């Protein structure tokens, strides 16, 4: 099957195929469009696996599949307008005061040339939507972190908390562990109250793809052990982005779950670690450093397998989650997500990771607080509201962050 899929990709790229495998050639004037058959209609629509994935046990749409004017529509352009008349609950402000545990120093803050004004405007938006505090995962060290301290803590120390990064210079040098700890202590004295977002999408935490695989430093590397231990000693949590959505490691073909908008994240057939390999690293880290608190952002990239994610929470008391940027994961399985967030209501933090827009926050409130159905989101599938009970919402929005984050 893999050879067939690769063969299809090669042929499709040469023929300029759209979503369907039928390509249209436009004639001049009122001439009828000429339909050119392509390999997709022959190679995939008769494939049992393709039929099962597309239609399930039903095995077909119940109507003849013939050529037509949509055959030239590209997947990346497809934006169907739903005919469903559904409830649209507008929630301007969250039900409880919110701590957003996952934001960044977004590019738009610098783009206008006046970052302090942009941050002031951000605070105004936070007031309007009910966000009391935001945790900025700066990923910064050195002079860059010093700049973040000036931007956020000079005027808004009561509205923002800063996480610093990990020193990444000279990770191959013998003194690296000592230098990394020293920089952490320096950032802590300046106001850092956590570390993150520490990211490994298969190429190590330095994210340097030029390094050979054996030279890359992953989160359980012995060189980082003194650093993680120091985090525990200082009582500051670590936000870890381990792996990515599993679809990033599947081939970019007709079976790819994500639309081409997300193809920039695809790591299929690279020399980095695979998804299955990456998700084993976090448990190793949690075992090695039981006195350090880790927040696995994006639901540990296991939001597609809530049973497995729940088992990990059961096994490790020093593990917490945030739901940032996984609106599309919880929104497509609302009953299972609501059950999960209720069962583990003491272990999950709210986070966005999605910019500064007011409507973005309000979309989150609608997803979590309402029972609305068939809501548009950031991916091709629709979302369904979780309608979480108030006691769960309060913990998610605020209480857990107050408990886990270091506010001293």
Domains of the chain: 2-77 (no CATH), 98-404 (3.20.20.140)
Spatial CB neighbours of 197, under 8 Å, sequence gap ≥ 6: 102, 104, 137, 139, 163, 239, 240, 241, 297
List pLDDT tens digits, range 299-325: 999 999 999 999 999 999 999 999 999
Structure tokens at 241: 């982005």
Stretch 123-139: mean pLDDT, rounded? 98
Structure tokens at 9: 């990709």
Is residue 189 very low, low, confident or very high in pLDDT (cuts 50, 70, 90)? very high
Q: For residues 205 and 166, is the Cβ–Cβ distance under 8 A?
A: yes
Q: b or e along 15-28 (b: 16 or more beta carbons within 10 Å of the residue's beta carbon)? A: eebbbbbbbbeeee
Lowest mean pLDDT of 15-19, 145-149, 165-169, 350-354, name the range: 15-19
**Cα 5 to Cα 241: distance, rounded to the nearest angstrom:** 30
Q: b or e along 255-278 (b: 16 or more beta carbons within 10 Å of the residue's beta carbon)? A: ebebbeebeeebbeeeebbebeeb
Stretch 365-385: mean pLDDT, rounded? 95
Q: Omega into 293 within 30° of 0, i.e. cis?
A: no
**Cα 275 to Cα 252: distance, rounded to the nearest angstrom:** 15
Is pLDDT above 60 for 12?
no
List pLDDT tens digits, range 222-244: 999 999 999 999 999 999 999 99
Adjacent-strand bridge partners of 182: none
pLDDT at residue 63, as a whole number: 67
Structure tokens at 148: 């973040």
List pLDDT tens digits, range 66-84: 778 888 888 888 888 899 9
Average pLDDT, the chain: 88
Is residue 7 very low, low, confident or very high in pLDDT (cuts 50, 70, 90)? very low
- The whole-angstrom distance between residue 162's C-alpha and the CA centroid of its chain comes to 20
Phi, psi of 40 (to 5 degrees): -60, -45
pLDDT at residue 65, as a whole number: 67
pLDDT at residue 174, as a whole number: 96
Range ranked top by mean pLDDT from 43-47, 77-81, 112-116: 112-116
Q: For the packed helices 115-129 and 358-369, what is the interaxial angle rounded to 10 degrees?
A: 30
pLDDT at residue 262, as a whole number: 84
- CA angle, 80 then 82 then 83, to 5°: 135
Is residue 260 very low, low, confident or very high in pLDDT (cuts 50, 70, 90)? confident
């Amino acid at each position: 099957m893999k050879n067939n899929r690769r063969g299809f990709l090669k042929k499709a790229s040469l023929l300029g195929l759209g979503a369907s495998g039928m390509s249209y050639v436009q004639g001049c004037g009122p001439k009828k469009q000429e339909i050119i058959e392509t390999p997709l209609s022959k190679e995939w629509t008769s494939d049992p696996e393709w039929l099962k994935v597309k239609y399930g046990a039903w095995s077909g749409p119940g109507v003849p599949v013939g050529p037509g004017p949509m055959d030239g529509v590209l997947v990346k352009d497809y934006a169907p307008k739903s005919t469903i008349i559904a409830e649209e609950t507008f929630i301007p402000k969250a039900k409880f005061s919110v701590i957003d545990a996952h934001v960044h120093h977004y590019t738009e803050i610098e783009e206008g040339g006046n970052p302090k004004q942009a941050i002031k405007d951000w605070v105004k938006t936070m007031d309007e939507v009910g966000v009391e505090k935001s945790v900025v995962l700066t990923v910064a060290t050195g002079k860059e972190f010093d700049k973040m301290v000036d931007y956020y803590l000079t005027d808004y120390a009561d509205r923002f908390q800063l996480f610093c990064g990990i020193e990444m210079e000279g990770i191959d040098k013998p003194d690296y562990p000592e230098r990394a700890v020293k920089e952490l202590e320096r950032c802590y004295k300046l106001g850092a109250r956590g570390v993150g977002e520490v990211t490994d999408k298969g190429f190590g935490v330095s994210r340097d793809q030029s390094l050979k695989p054996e030279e890359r430093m992953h989160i359980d590397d012995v060189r980082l052990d003194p650093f993680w231990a120091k985090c525990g000693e200082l009582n500051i949590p670590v936000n870890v982005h381990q792996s990515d959505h599993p679809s990033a490691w599947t081939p970019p073909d007709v079976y790819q779950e994500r639309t081409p908008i997300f193809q920039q994240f695809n790591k299929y057939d690279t020399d980095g670690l695979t998804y299955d390999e990456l998700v084993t690293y976090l448990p190793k880290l949690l075992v090695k450093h039981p006195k350090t608190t880790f927040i696995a952002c994006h639901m540990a990239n296991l939001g597609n397998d809530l049973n497995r994610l729940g088992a990990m929470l059961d096994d490790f008391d020093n593990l917490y989650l945030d739901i940032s940027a996984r609106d599309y994961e919880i929104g497509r399985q609302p009953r299972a997500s609501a059950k999960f967030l209720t069962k583990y209501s003491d272990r999950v933090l709210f986070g966005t990771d999605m910019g500064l827009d007011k409507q973005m926050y309000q979309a989150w409130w609608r997803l979590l607080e309402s029972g609305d159905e068939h809501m548009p989101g950031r991916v091709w599938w629709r979302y369904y509201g979780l309608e979480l009970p108030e006691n769960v919402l309060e913990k998610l929005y605020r209480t857990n962050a107050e408990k886990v984050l270091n506010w001293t």
